[in-house]
Copies of this chain bind each other. A is one copy, B any other.
Amino acid sequence: MDIIQVRRDFHRHPEVGFTEFRTAGKVVETLLALGYHVTYGKDAIDGSARRGVPSEKDLQRAFERAIENGADPDIIAPMEGGYTAVIGTLEGNAPGPVVALRFDMDALPITESAEADHVPFAKGFRSEFEGNMHACAHDGHTAIGLGVAKVMAHGNFAGTLKLIFQPAEEGVRGAYAVTEKGMLDDVDYLLCHHLGTNVPLGEIYGGAQGFLATTKMAVHFRGVSSHAGAAPELGKNALLGAATALLNIHAIPRFSSGDTRINVGVLEGGTAANIIPQHAKMIIETRSDSEEVNCDLEERVRKIIAHSAAMHELEYDIDIIGGAIPIKCDEEMVKTVLEAAAEVDGFSSLKGIQTGSRGSEDASYMIKRVQERGGKGTYMIIGTDIAAPHHHEKFDIQEDILPRGVQLLERAAMKLLK
């Protein structure tokens, strides 16, 4: 297995959240070939706990595209409908703890650059799925996961290795459903990571904190249309409800008990100048460094939505389309990671816990579950030089990090499996 080629293959076939049929299919094939026990499809993820699932039509189209691009129809059949989590398990040759590593597989709805100075284009592995792109290094994460699978396939360790490949990290939508399925319930040690995030090649953080708890909501208001000239009083105006909600959501107070963020990112409604608008849609997110405060924000948003709707006699529904909570890394795990890094060539700058991120990460649910059940976890940052910011059409990683990442995770896992 050439990990560089594996990553480039994923890069050419980027699949957004819950449509990672081809990617997950390759993962299943590889894990099976290496002798891992593989759990996937509805056995690996709680369907109803998935958030922000694409439409039936989009799921179907992506499923067919995966097959057209080399996915084995028999292997991916259990994934149909968006069940794209894969868990590979390998028992060691002695009893010991369960050590899990988590990798996210999804891409972004970004059209990749086709300019000469963009390496994937220049070297011929630009996205072939036009409009989608691996612009956040998850192709690298997944490739590293398969690399670790290979180097650990010997089974010479005490305990159980569990490799968790999750869908839909973007929009913080997938980890919660994997966790709810119980996939983390037996884990003693959990290692999560991200490449890049402004940390240069050669540097590593053993943990990362500061991620915000967040909730993403989609709201639909449904009113009644009427002719704006002939009978405006017969309408129930969905945009009046939505605009009222928008202003009041922004007016939710600051909290003395936590840092907060609120955004109504999208508002769309109505049909024509002369029609009282009968529908409106909003996409909202709340964030806080406190999970409790974020819950309070979500409750306040729900209340505002409910009464903005009722005020104008609208019906409404609220879907949770994403969410995450803060991460607290265990010192012991951070230490283990840094010890492992010290044994691998290429890591010259070893750091403790990175703080200050105001982003969100859904591995948080997995780490919390492990910790709640007495286990330990960390979220490490593995530096790599990047060609452009994350989520940019020219984003690219330094591929040297891939083999080093495999070594790092192998060492860290081996330290725990004893």
Shortest Cβ-Cβ A-B pairs, 4 listed: A250-B251, A228-B263, A307-B311, A243-B243
Residues of chain B within 8 A (CB-CB) of A227 are: 358
Segment 210-261 of A: residues with Cβ below 8 Å from B: 212, 214, 216, 227-233, 235, 237, 239-240, 242-244, 246-248, 250-251, 253-257, 259-261
Q: Mark A294-336, 1 if CB is under 8 A from B, else 0.
A: 0010000001101110111100000001100000000000000
**Chain B residues closer than 8 Å to A244, beta-carbon distance:** 244, 247-248
Q: Is A274 an interface residue (CB 8 A)?
A: yes
Do residues A269 and B271 form an inter-chain contact, with CB atoms below 8 A?
no
Q: How far is the CA of A303 from the CA of B284 in the complex (A)?
A: 25
Residues of B within 8 A of A360 (CB): 229
Tell me the interface secondary structure of chain A in the complex: mixed
Complex contact A230–B247 (CB within 8 A): no
Stretch in A3-11, A130-138, A275-283, A337-345 touching the partner: A275-283
Q: Which of B230, B266, B277 contacts A277 (CB 8 A)?
A: B266
Residues of B within 8 A of A303 (CB): 310-311, 313
Pairwise interchain contact B254-A265, C-beta atoms closer than 8 A: no
Decide if A265 touches B273 in the complex (CB within 8 Å): yes
A251 B247 Cβ-Cβ under 8 A: yes
Residues of B within 8 A of A260 (CB): 254
Given contacts A266-B270, A283-B273, contact A232 B255 (CB under 8 A): yes
24 cross-chain CB contacts under 8 A: A227-B358, A229-B360, A230-B256, A248-B311, A250-B250, A250-B251, A251-B251, A253-B276, A256-B358, A263-B273, A263-B276, A265-B270, A265-B271, A265-B277, A266-B269, A266-B273, A267-B277, A268-B269, A268-B270, A272-B283, A273-B283, A273-B285, A304-B311, A307-B308
Smallest Cβ distance from A319 to chain B, in angstroms? 12
Q: Across the interface, name the chain B residue whose C-beta is closest to A238.
A: B267
Report the bound CA distance from A262 to B233 in whole Å: 12
**How distant is A348 from chain B, measured CB to nearest CB, in Å?**
28
Asked whether A359 is an interface residue with its Cβ less than 8 Å from the other chain, the reply is yes
Decide if A152 is an interface residue (CB 8 Å cutoff): no
Q: Is A199 an interface residue (CB 8 A)?
A: no
Residues of B contacting A266 with CB < 8 Å?
A: 269-273, 277
